[in-house]
Amino acid sequence: MSMPLFLGQTITSSAEALEKGEMTSQELTHAYLGQIRGLNGSLNAYISVFDEQAMEQAKASDTRRASGQTLGPLDGVPIAIKDNILVQGTRTTAGSKILEQYIAVHDATVIRKLKAAGAVILGKTNLDEFAMGSSTERSAYGPTKNPHDVERIPGGTSGGSACAVAADMCVAALGSDTGGSIRQPAAMCGVVGLKPTYGRVSRSGLIAHASSFDQIGPLTKTVEDAGIVLEAMMGSDPRDQTTVDAPPLQRGNAKGLQGVTIGLPKEAWGAGMMDGVRQDVMEGVEVLKSLGAEVKEVSLPYTDEALAVYYVLGPCEISANLSRFDGIRYGTRVEGNNLIETYLHSRGQGLGEEVRRRIMLGTYALSKGYYDAYYRQANKVRTLIRRAYQDAFKEVDVLLTPTAPSTAWKIGEKISDPLMMYLEDVFTVGINVAGVPAISVPCGSHEGLPVGMQLIGNLFEEGTLLDIASAFEKANA
């Protein structure tokens, strides 16, 4: 069997082929490492590749299989990890110069769980520095390219993971989502991206961006694969007190969508959306109707305010979370003549422009005289946004919007206009503000570039999202 036959796998197809003995995990892993070697030079999806460790993990999986153990669907399957999630004994940079030499001393909880499930870790993927940005151009290790057009961005901040899945440089990948960082690159690279409910998956071992928004989730080739990864990772964790022992995923078996009501928030269909995106998503809505779903227009107040709330509260949390990266406690140290100079040099040279911008915005909003006007006010509006989502879910099972207002833009096109970049998150940030789950599924393409459709569920209703997304995926294939 030649090597290319080992590629193009999903988690489901890999598990089946491994179970039947049609290939070994070592053959599968070797093929994907070869694919990374062939493509990473042009796409820059990976910051680090773990050739030796990956082959050792694959060999251990083959040994388990040969001994007749009953293995789960992830055992022996090669996956990629966003480089802000700790993998013990390996370099974890968060896309920043300040962590260029940092070696993780322990595994993140999700990594511990994936290792226990037998997954093979191929390497760490590129991201906007400290997961701040919308295009993966803000990495200290160079921009990641979109595999559909290398002159374009892959989305961000999990652009390396989305690119790696889309270019078949891994079977699946992990990303993190603070304001759309799994779903938006999934849409722009034409893959599936799931942001779980806040508290469904442990954040322990995720380098914090904005702690009340961050969630780890999967980027995969199919909806079914996203469910497999989520089930392996989820659950409460004593190391993350925001996690909850939520009920297991409730999955239905109905092929049609009779009895399902889908809400289209009227606030999400206004100006600023590319015509091709609007058309593809509306065609997706027609597919859902043909499967028996009832579609109705609903109101989702404070949609516009969600962006402002996110870009006030996010930087406030960033300014606190990133204070530890000072060249003393963590990070590359650049010596000055005294302590204050050492701080200034270390942070000034170690942190990029967008990270510094958000730290300053957050520090300003939290400062005396501005705290009430910005931070406290934004928190009040956050409560109103959460209530607006809860009210909407009294009328409908899920909400539906485009994932992003446009397809992937050219590298460099928006980098000098941070406000224009922030507006790209208009459909995704509200979900993080409210803490609810959402999934992006490919629904077409415009001028050769993928378009994503976003389904939003009520708290801990990932099972419903996966069912509806799966029914759509099969009908739209």
Q: How far apart are CA 188 and CA 146, in angstroms?
A: 8
- Among 168, 190, 198, residue whose Cα is nearest residue 3: 168
Q: How far apart are CA 466 and CA 374, in angstroms?
A: 37
Count of CB atoms within 10 A of residue 356's CB? 14
Q: Residue 59 burial by CB count (10 A; 0-12/13-18/19+): exposed, middle or buried?
A: middle
Count of CB atoms within 10 A of residue 69's CB? 11
- pLDDT at residue 3 is higher than 70: no
Average pLDDT, stretch 74-78? 98
The pLDDT tens digits for 281-310 are 999 999 999 999 999 999 999 988 999 999
Average pLDDT, stretch 243-268? 86
Confidence tier at 47 by pLDDT (50, 70, 90): very high
Q: How far apart are CA 234 and CA 200, in angstroms?
A: 6
The pLDDT tens digits for 108-139 are 999 999 999 999 999 999 999 999 999 999 99
Q: What pLDDT was estimated at residue 2?
A: 44
With tokens 């227009």, the residue in question is: 297
Do 173 and 165 form a contact (C-beta atoms < 8 A)? Answer: yes
Q: Give the fold, CATH level 3, of 3-233.
A: Amidase signature (AS) enzymes (3.90.1300)
Q: How far apart are CA 79 and CA 165, in angstroms?
A: 9
Residues, the chain: 477
Do 132 and 162 form a contact (C-beta atoms < 8 A)? Answer: no
- Among 323, 308, 306, 327, residue whose Cα is nearest residue 399: 306
- pLDDT at residue 216 is higher than 70: yes
Q: How far apart are CA 399 and CA 346, in angstroms?
A: 45
Q: Give the chain's mean pLDDT.
A: 94
Pairing of strands 261-265, 294-298: parallel
The pLDDT tens digits for 218-229 are 999 999 999 999
Q: How far apart are CA 79 and CA 31, in angstroms?
A: 13
Q: What pLDDT was estimated at residue 1?
A: 39
Give every CB contact of residue 390 below 8 A, 6+ residues apart in sequence: 458
Query: Which value, to the nearest 10 degrees, does the dihedral of the CA atoms of residues 393, 262, 432, 187 take?
Result: 170
Query: Which value, to the nearest 10 degrees, does the dihedral of the CA atoms of residues 100, 94, 125, 171 take?
Result: 140
- Among 77, 12, 90, residue whose Cα is nearest residue 48: 90
The distance in angstroms from the start CA to the end CA of the chain is 28
Count of CB atoms within 10 A of residue 376's CB? 11
Average pLDDT, stretch 341-360? 86
Q: Where are the domains of the chain?
A: 3-233, 262-302+382-476, 306-373
Q: What pLDDT was estimated at residue 4?
A: 58
